[in-house]
Structure 1
Amino acid sequence: MSDPKPIIWMRPEKPARGPAPTHTREEIAAVAIKIADSEGLEAASVRNIARNLGAGTMTLYRYLPAKEDLWAVMIDEAAGFEPQEPTGDLRADLTVLARRRRQNFLRHPWLAPLLATRPVIGPNLLRGMERDLAVIGGCGLGIDDNIDVLNLVYSWVSGAVQAELTEQANAHRSGVDRHSWRMRMKPYLVSLLATGEFPYLSKMTAAAEIAEADEQFESGLAIILDGIEARYSADTGNG
């Protein structure tokens, strides 16, 4: 079996021979991101990107010969890099980190699912991971706990955002919002709950209100941060 081709970040952007490239990877990624944000990831094809750039389709393959390469530069461009200095307050710093990550995923609805596919990791994404590890480390956690906390927050944000985006997509596709869907289901659910077989669901239904996405996210994040604080407050000196 032959060695795999080096990942895109190990290949020079400008070839040693031949004409200089007309476009940069960042320019191509920016166009691809704009298409994916508005039309979905599948719409960000080389053909569509080339048309928006005013370039030939085959020309773009010189820059990004494989879909893996295109996704790599899109992820790295969308990841961006915003500094965050640790304050020493673990809860406050994790809140900023989680909210920032959520907002970026909402700006780019394709990004969280794509990050779950073991993509090629680029320099901006690595800088973001280094920043986040430094933020938590600045609150006094050791590296093992640091990684555990970061993975927990990353997983929560990714799952919460993908559930939020799925609900938005369902509402857009069906024309039925969440409240209307619940109202349609209500007669059936009421008939089941009346049997007495679902006491906990009955309590939940009686107490439940339809929370907005922001409220749901903040509520779930608070529960996670409560647990993190309870576990690590003695170590970090915040409790």
Structure 2
Amino acid sequence: MAGRAAVPEVIWARPERAGRGPRPAYTRADIAAASVRIADAEGLDAVTMRRVAAELGCGTMSLYNYVPRKEDLHELMMDAVSGEHELWEPSGDWRADMLRVAHQTRALMHRHPWLPRLMSPVHGFSPNALRYLEHCLACLDPFDAPYGTKMELVAMVNGVVTTYVGNELATVERTRSLPWSEEQENAVRIAYLGRQLASGAYPRLAASFTEDAGPIDMEAVFERALQRVLDGFA
């Protein structure tokens, strides 16, 4: 296909610098840090080759000498933030350790709200991501199961976190764009919902809201979701 290299390349398989010649002006860490700064401040769509080059203070064409494709920028960004994971000595309690992994990942995604958009197996095998996965498997050493099952568990936990944080971030973004207060919005929606439930057309929904009419504790919902995933593997 036009515009594609004849042979696919993984950026991590290429040496960062040639054995000879002058030292490059920028390292991959420099490029990753610049890209992450832009994404954190302006969103993922703002991360372009031109914008990153400007952040570094070099020409756009010069940046291509370091990073041939925008996808490589994403690889560098994912690896950089994966390096923020704390890799502690496993406690011996695999459930407690996986809960800790989940909470740490949630905090990481809130620090970098663009992160869920890039979460995919494509970016899952960078150096820091590999160290993170190895750490997760070390935490699961006491869990008597094949490695395939352990990898599924890690994927399920990450899936719950990604979905939950995605909803949190979407709510924050929507609230930010409202022309009125969140309280006003909620009051109108609750009033509408109340009328619909009182109509008798949704008896099961009405019963569910009657059963638990208090405010939803989203932290408790998050904990229950994680516990149920772990229960399913125990």
TM-score range, shorter chain: 0.7 to 0.9
Q: Does structure 1 conserve the Cα–Cα contact (< 8 Å) formed by 2:124 and 2:130?
A: no
Opposite residue 195 of structure 1, the aligned amino acid is S
Distance 2:188 2:120 in 1: 34
Instruction: Please name the residue that 1:183 is paired with.
Output: 187
1:21 maps to which of 19, 24, 31: 24
Distance 2:146 2:43 in 1: 39
User: Residues 42-92 of structure 1: CA distance to partner in whole angstroms, max 9, x if unpaired?
Assistant: 112122222221112211111111011111011000111421222222221
User: Hey, what does 1:99 align to over in structure 2?
Assistant: 103
Among candidates 79, 84, 99, match of residue 82 of structure 2: 79
How many residue pairs align between the two structures? 229
| CA distance 1:5–1:146, change in 2 (3 Å) | closer
- Identify which range, 59-68 or 201-210, moves more after superposition: 201-210
Match of 1:53 among 56, 73, 81: 56
Distance 2:137 2:34 in 1: 30
Aligned partner letter, 2:162: S
Change (3 A) 1:60 1:152: same
Aligned-partner Cα distance in 1 for 2:181–2:102: 27
Q: CA deviation at 1:213?
A: 4.5
CA contact (8 A) 1:164 1:213 kept: no
Indicate whether 1:194 and 2:168 are aligned. no
For residues 148-159 of structure 1, the aligned pairs below 5 Å read 148-159=152-163
Task: Give the aligned residue type for 2:114.
Answer: W
State the distance in 1 between where 2:112 and 2:200 align.
44
Contact 1:88 1:140 survives alignment (8 Å)? no
Q: Which runs of 5+ in 2 are unaligned?
A: none
Q: Does 1:40 align with 2:21?
A: no
Give the Cα separation in 2 of the matches to 1:49 and 1:89.
43
* Deviation for aligned residue 1:149: 1.6
TM-score normalised according to structure 1 size = 0.85
**Quick check: 2:94–2:141 contact (8 Å CA) kept in 1?**
no
TM-score under structure 2 length normalisation: 0.87
Secondary structure of the corresponding residue to residue 205 of structure 1: helix
1:72, 1:121 within 8 Å by CA — same for their partners in 2? no
* Closer, same or farther: CA 117–67 of 1 in aligned 2, 3 Å: farther
Counterpart secondary structure, 1:118? helix
Q: 1:220 aligns with which of 205, 221, 225?
A: 225
**Alignment correspondent of 1:10:** 13
Does residue 1:165 correspond to 2:195, yes or no? no
2:112 pairs, out of 108, 111, 128, with 108
* Distance apart, 1:223 and its partner CA: 3.4
RMSD, matched Cα: 2.3
Is the CA contact 2:79–2:129 (under 8 Å) kept in the aligned structure 1?
yes
Q: How does 1:227-238 map to 2 (within 5 A)?
A: 227-228=231-232, 231-232=233-234
Give the equivalent residue in structure 2 for 1:147. Answer: 151
Task: Please list every run of 5 or more consecutive structure 1 residues that lacks an aligned counterpart in the other structure.
Answer: 233-239
